[in-house]
Amino acid sequence: MPFIYIKMKLNSLLCLFIIMISVSCKNDKSKSTDSVSGATEWVDSLIYPEEVHFKSIRQVTFGGDNAEAYWSFDDQQIIFQSNNKAWGVNCDQMFLMSADDTFDSIAPPMISTGLGRTTCAYFLPDGEHFIYGSTHLGDEACPETPLRKNGKYIWPIYDSYDIFVADLEGNIVNQLTNEVGYDAEPTVSPQGDKIVFTSTRNGDIDLYTMNIDGSDVKQITFELGYDGGAFFSPDGTKIIFRSSRPKTEAEIKEYQDLLNEGLVQPTEMELYICDADGSNLRQLTNLGGANWSPFFHPSGEKILFSSNFEAERGFPFNLYLIDLDGKNLERVTHGKTFDAFPVFSNDGKKLIFSSNRNNGGGRDTNLFIAEWQD
């Protein structure tokens, strides 16, 4: 998720991510896309003229921080997380909508417990159940959300997170993880047989897979660093994810010191890709800055992701496409603040993502559904 994926208290998280990340040093790399200045006018009220992949766009939510929106296998329903206080929550909880819904003055049904903090819900193949991470067994209250340490932007990795299965009425029917440490960020293979998730059960932050019922857990990444926000390719054979990979002695010490406090620093992340069993691991991007929330293009031949690598001050974050060989980088969105969490519908015709666009200059992060065209 940060990314994580998503993935915490988005009202503070996303806004401070844009602001705090500006203090980090940028790598001096040549840029292969257009200027970061952004578009200056709208098309159809919500689309910048440079956003040629959006045939049409519809705003879905109107307030609070809304993200991590995922389609059901039949593309008829969407599950997402929100901290919209107007909906009676104090930190991220899970909400259900039909693919045609819009939520302005009314609230969608909440399908998490309303206890603790939740993250990264994902539909199971039957369309009647979903998986998600929740801290409610550790404490029914919303956990604190530290966002700065020693002047640097951080994310909390709550060790009370576990992964649960619930029905669409919010009833928990199974608990898939019960290990000490952080277990969260689960997503499901398009084939409906495997789950990939992030865990600290080995003392680092690595990726694991398990069967849809929680059996046959296998670790698939092993290098030091935060591996998270993983998604399967459309054919289920590959996994794309974000990672921070500390290399120098100072970087390693800082990473491990933060991890010992249940924290990570997500300001320098690149994308990595591997086979579904963890083999053939390779780095996909080398752009600098924060490259995250990757998702496979329906063709399986490209990755759509969010990045601030072009930004001189740490923002904006925009969406980019890149081939699986790291070539043909293309900028997709042209906003001036924040576009992230892109997820294609299973039929490949629509894209849902989170954006600060059309929020009146405020802090709200809303969901938008675009009709996609290649």
Instruction: Write out the DSSP string of 330-372.
Output: EE----SSBEEEEEE-TTSSEEEEEE-TTSTTSS-BEEEEEEE
What is the reported pLDDT for 245?
A: 96
Q: What is the pLDDT of residues 147-173, one digit of tens each?
A: 787 778 889 999 999 999 999 999 999
What is the reported pLDDT for 43?
A: 52
Which pair of structure tokens corresponds to residue 162?
A: 């576990």
**DSSP 3-state of 10:** helix
Which pair of structure tokens corresponds to residue 374?
A: 């290649």
Residue scoring higher pLDDT (4 or 100)? 100
The Cα 195–Cα 205 span in angstroms is 16
What is the reported pLDDT for 150?
A: 78
Which pair of structure tokens corresponds to residue 276?
A: 């579904």
pTM: 0.89
Which pair of structure tokens corresponds to residue 220?
A: 């698939």
Contact indicator for 354, 341 with CB cutoff of 8 Å: yes
Domain ranges of the chain: 10-372
13-27, 233-247, 274-288: lowest mean pLDDT where?
13-27
- pLDDT of 12 over the 50 cut: no
The pairs formed by 250-254 with CB atoms below 8 angstroms and a separation of 24 or more are: 252/224
CATH of 10-372 among 2.60.40.10, 2.40.160.60, 3.40.1190.20, 2.120.10.30: 2.120.10.30
Query: In the predicted model, what is the mean pLDDT of residues 292-300?
Result: 97
